Amino acid sequence: MKKNFINKYCFEIKKKFKKNILELHEPFFKKNEIDQLKKAISTKIVSTHGNITEKFEKKLSNFTKTKYVIATNSGTSAIHVALISLGLNNSDEVLVPNLNYIASANAILYLGGIPNFIDTNERSPSIDLEKLKDYLSKNTKKINGDCINIRTKRKIHSIIITHIFGHIEDIDKLKNLTKNFNLKLIEDASEALGSFYKKKHAGSFGDVGIISFNGNKIITTGGGGALITNSLKLAKKIKNLTTICRKKNTIEYDYSGLGYNYRMPSINAAIGIAQLKNLNFFLKTKKNIFNKYKEISKKFTEFDLIVEPKNCKSNYWLQGIILKKNSLKYRNQIIKFMNKNGIKSRPVWKLMHKIQYLKKFKHGDLSNSIRLEKKIINLPSGIGLIYDK
Ligand SMILES: Cc1ncc(COP(=O)(O)O)c(C=O)c1O
């Protein structure tokens, strides 16, 4: 490895941010969280009952400009419920990016569905729309309105798209494609709170969108998630499913179906209400961090900085570079060197088709994601890079 480049890059990063240790992520609290927590504790509204979670949902609905928001205890449970509410049946196939976090593939498997991995494009971590279109045109047939995989004879139920690192690419084109092939569209906007495409919020294009409030996200509730949708019918279904399908208007403990204890507790929502107040500050700071990396990048030719796609106003949740050189060994050496020097970087996720329990699922050409996996490095992106805690 050419030590010169990475030595110089680390030096420039440290000089720009004036820090010895640069964290990849870290939650940032402005202390208004404590007031909200005190309020929740003093009123004893800490569990799933009471109006704090509803208040958080209302605020999220206003921010994302989606009609209905249902808060959950994680982003993963939100994806699980999204698939149930949209009617995923055992043995249905779901299209899902090969370069992705594990939550979507797991949620598909919880329901006996079959993940069908799709490739990214060559230049960015987003999916390759042309390749997907070509795949669907050549391999599917419409039977009674359903999109059927000719080879497996199974129904392709939906696609889950992920707005990786907060970036949204060509979501309008994807929406048209899903309409043409009669597929449900779930947007995994777990990383994209505060990202917009043509002024519409991430997650508001599909049938349903998912947001995560895990500790590493742009705002956190400790753990938590949300489903956002403009469909009243779907929202009612989701609310019922996430509250164990308990029948209302009866003193009896009775249930309309198999439900899940997935509702976000008030204690988490209380933190969320305070964090939402700080969101615009976080968004500005993330952009500021990106701009600093952009300035540094001008001095280097060994990589490209990942930037927001056309028509997207990204939340720049997680910064990243794409190395020009295509070598896993080289990537790992760089990450090791950076971490040793206090610059907390990481590789992108291991590809889905290489995960042990997912290897058995058939897939088409995944060459772009195979190449990208070896080239992406995520860089320190915590708010603490600029502001002290
Ligand atoms: C893209 C993506 N999807 C889903 C999730 C799952 O969210 P959670 O950790 O809240 O279950 C995460 C983050 O953790 C994520 O980054």
Residue extents of the structural domains in the chain: 3-26+279-385, 32-276
Pairing outcome for strands 156-162 and 184-188: parallel
- Model confidence at 356: pLDDT above 90: yes
Ligand 1 nearest-atom number relative to CA 77:
11
Give percent of the chain with pLDDT exceeding 90: 96
Do 71 and 56 form a contact (C-beta atoms < 8 A)? yes
Check whether 271 has a pLDDT greater than 70: yes
- From CA 78, how far away is CA 110, in angstroms rounded? 13
- Of all protein residues, the one whose alpha carbon is nearest to atom 8 of ligand 1 is 75
Please tell me the distance between residue 128's alpha carbon and the centre of ligand 1 in angstroms.
22
Q: How does pLDDT run across 331-354, given as a tens digit for each residue?
A: 999 999 999 999 999 999 999 999
- Per-residue pLDDT band for 3 (boundaries 50, 70, 90) equals low
Return the SS3 of 378: strand
- What one-character DSSP code corresponds to residue 265? P
- What pLDDT is stored for residue 388 in this prediction? 82
Question: Averaged over 281-285, what is the pLDDT?
Answer: 98
Is any ligand 1 atom within 6 A of the Cβ of residue 368? no
Q: What was the pLDDT predicted at 272?
A: 98
The reply to whether ligand 1 has any atom less than 6 angstroms from the CB of 72 is no
Q: Is 245 exposed, middle or buried (0-12, 13-18, 19+ CB in 10 A)?
A: middle
pLDDT band at 363 (very low <50, low <70, confident <90, very high): confident
Q: What is the pLDDT of residue 1?
A: 53
- Per-residue pLDDT of 14-73, as tens digits, reads 999 999 999 999 999 999 999 999 999 999 999 998 899 999 999 999 999 999 999 999
Predicted local distance difference test score (pLDDT) of residue 134: 97
Has residue 152 got a pLDDT over 80?
yes
Assess contact for 71 and 222: CB atoms under 8 A.
no
Token pair, residue 143, equals 């039977």
The confidence band for 249, taking pLDDT boundaries of 50, 70 and 90, is confident
Taking a C-beta distance cutoff of 8 angstroms, is the pair 23, 385 a contact? yes
Arithmetic mean of pLDDT over the chain: 97
What is the pLDDT averaged over residues 310-323?
A: 98
Contacts of 97 (CB under 8 A, 6+ apart): 104, 117, 118, 120, 127, 160, 161, 162, 164, 352, 369
Chain segment 121-142, per-residue pLDDT in tens: 989 999 999 999 999 999 999 9
- Does the domain at 3-26+279-385 match CATH 3.30.1360.120? Answer given as no
Indicate whether 2 pLDDT > 80.
no
CATH number, domain 32-276, options 3.40.640.10, 3.40.309.10, 3.40.50.11610, 3.40.50.300: 3.40.640.10
Q: Is the pLDDT of residue 302 over 60?
A: yes
Name the residue of 25, 214, 348 to mutate for ligand 1: max ligand atoms within 8 A of Cβ: 214
Tokens of 78: 């939100």
pLDDT grade for 389, boundaries at 50, 70 and 90: low
> Is 225 near ligand 1, meaning CB less than 6 Å away?
yes
**Which pLDDT tens digit goes with each residue over 222-231?**
999 999 999 9
- When pLDDT is averaged across residues 269-279 and rounded to a whole number, the result is 98
* Averaged pLDDT for residues 156-166: 98
- From CA 317, how far away is CA 165, in angstroms rounded? 6
> Taking a C-beta distance cutoff of 8 angstroms, is the pair 89, 114 a contact?
no
